[in-house]
Structures are given as C-alpha cells and as structure tokens.
Amino acid sequence: MQKHKYAYYAFSLLLLILSGAVGFYNNPPTQEPQTTEENYEYTGQIPYAYYFQLYAPNINWPWQMLAALCYEESHYNPHARSASGALGLMQLMPKTAKRFGLNDSTIYSPQDNIRAGVEYIAFLQKKYSFITDSAENINFVLASYNAGPAHIMDARRLAKKHGRSAYVWFGNTEYWLAQLQYEQYANDSVVRFGQFNPAQTINYVHKVHRTYRKILLSEP
C-alpha cells in the first residue's frame, strides 16, 4: 500500500510538470492551461448566488465571475481562515476587512463579507482605470486581488520596457510577472518591490476563469 501511495504521488508530480503547473515560468503560456472535467474540483453549488447577484453590478462584473473568485478564495466556506490570516468568504486580510467596514461580529457574515470584498475589488478597479478593456481590467484586478497590486505594477513596468503589452494580461504582463522570480529582473531599475514568487498568482487567474466558465455551463 505504501509503495502504491508513493507511486501515485510520483505520477501526480509528473502530470503537473507535463501540464505546465510546475516550472513553466521561463515561458508562461499565452493561453490558459488545459484541464479536464474529471480533475477539476468545482461542483456547481453556489450557495450565496443572491449576494453575488446583488453586489456584482457595483463593479460591472458578471455575477458568475464574482462567484468564481469567491469559490477560489474560500470554496464558499463563510468561516474560512487561511494560513496568512485572510478571513471569510472573500478571504479578506484583517486590515482590508476593517478598511471596508467589517469587524469581529461581521467578518464571517456572508453578505457583509461579500459586500466588503466587492468594495475592495472596486478599489482595485480604480487603480487600473486606465485599462479600459473590461475583460483585461478583470484580469489585472484578479491578479491584484491575489497578490496585491505592487508586484503587478512591477510586471507592467517590465512589460513596457521589454516590448510586451502592459494592458494585456495573458502572455504579456503575466509573462513579466513570472520573470520577477529571477534576480536579474527583480533587480531591474524599473522594479520597485523586488523579487516575487509568481506561481500562485498566475495559476489563480487561470483558475478563476475556469470556474467562471464552469458556472456558466452549470446554469439551467
């Protein structure tokens, strides 16, 4: 049984490497990595759809995109708490939660947490107001929701310097975010916030989009 377990882990790691989830950062994909229905976790259950529909118009997002972000953050667990201390459905850090009106008695309230998360998204949207394409604006907001805007702005500066678009995410600014793991780029004169591990953020944007598509397909 133990040998089978190790063989399973080894096979899983090989699949990750071959699919690009590990070590693809020298040449990040220009399109989203493939997945299959069998190996993807989303179940089609959206327990707080009413609140997503209520607040999504405040940021001009499809409510399904907001629901997809929430799923990737907490799997719709209103009492979720991450290792870094992020709380609730939208996984807001305590300082961010307080900034947008949450306290100890409301942080785990589904409606209040979603509302505050949407207000934080609106804050990020303003930072990228110069990205007028709505789909691209969403991509940059998603990346910043996961990583904070500082490293995303560094990646934009590198993209501009090296001839890729600082207004397009996939294959452009995404590519230069990936390069921030390397000292030669993290020490570039246009980079203000130093080295960054890009894996989680790059995968996060792809995962939210995949969940969004699955939510659309699951609707009657």
pLDDT, tens only, 55-110: 999 999 999 999 999 999 999 999 999 999 999 999 999 999 999 999 999 999 99
Within 13 Å, how many C-alpha atoms sit on residue 176's CB side? 27
The CA-CA-CA angle for residues 73, 77, 78, to 5°, reads: 100
The answer to whether the beta carbons of residues 155 and 177 sit under 8 Å apart is yes
Instruction: Give pLDDT, residue 43.
Output: 62
CA proximity to 22, closest of 32, 11, 13, 9: 13
Instruction: Give pLDDT, residue 44.
Output: 65
Strand partners, 178: none
Kindly state the helix (H) or strand (E) to which residue 2 belongs, with its residue range.
helix 2-19
Whether the model pTM is above 0.85: no
Instruction: Give pLDDT, residue 9.
Output: 39
The Cα–Cα gap between 158 and 99 comes to 31
Instruction: Give pLDDT, residue 21.
Output: 35
153 Cβ partners below 8 Å, 6+ apart?
192, 193
The answer to whether the beta carbons of residues 141 and 125 sit under 8 Å apart is yes
Instruction: Give pLDDT, residue 42.
Output: 61
Q: Considering 32, 37, 73, 119, which one is annotated as catalytic?
A: 73
Instruction: Give pLDDT, residue 152.
Output: 98
Instruction: Round the average pLDDT of the chain to a whole number and report it.
Output: 86
CA proximity to 185, closest of 68, 25, 64, 55: 25
Instruction: Give pLDDT, residue 209.
Output: 98
User: Is residue 37 annotated as part of the catalytic site, yes or no?
Assistant: no
How confident is residue 134, by pLDDT bands cut at 50, 70 and 90? very high
215 Cβ partners below 8 Å, 6+ apart?
42, 44, 46, 64, 67, 68
Window from 42-46, 130-134, 137-141, 189-193 with minimum mean pLDDT: 42-46
Examine the pLDDT at 26 and tell me if it is beyond 50. Answer: no
Examine the pLDDT at 28 and tell me if it is beyond 50. Answer: no
Question: 10 in helix, strand or coil?
Answer: helix
Examine the pLDDT at 211 and tell me if it is beyond 60. Answer: yes
What is the share, in percent, of the chain residues with pLDDT greater than 90?
Answer: 78
Within 13 Å, how many C-alpha atoms sit on residue 117's CB side? 35
121 Cβ partners below 8 Å, 6+ apart?
59, 61, 66, 141, 145
pLDDT, tens only, 144-195: 999 999 999 999 999 999 999 999 999 999 999 999 999 999 999 999 999 9
Domains and CATH numbers, the chain: 29-218 (1.10.530.10)
What is the share, in percent, of the chain residues with pLDDT greater than 70?
Answer: 80
CA proximity to 197, closest of 133, 148, 159: 148
How confident is residue 219, by pLDDT bands cut at 50, 70 and 90? confident
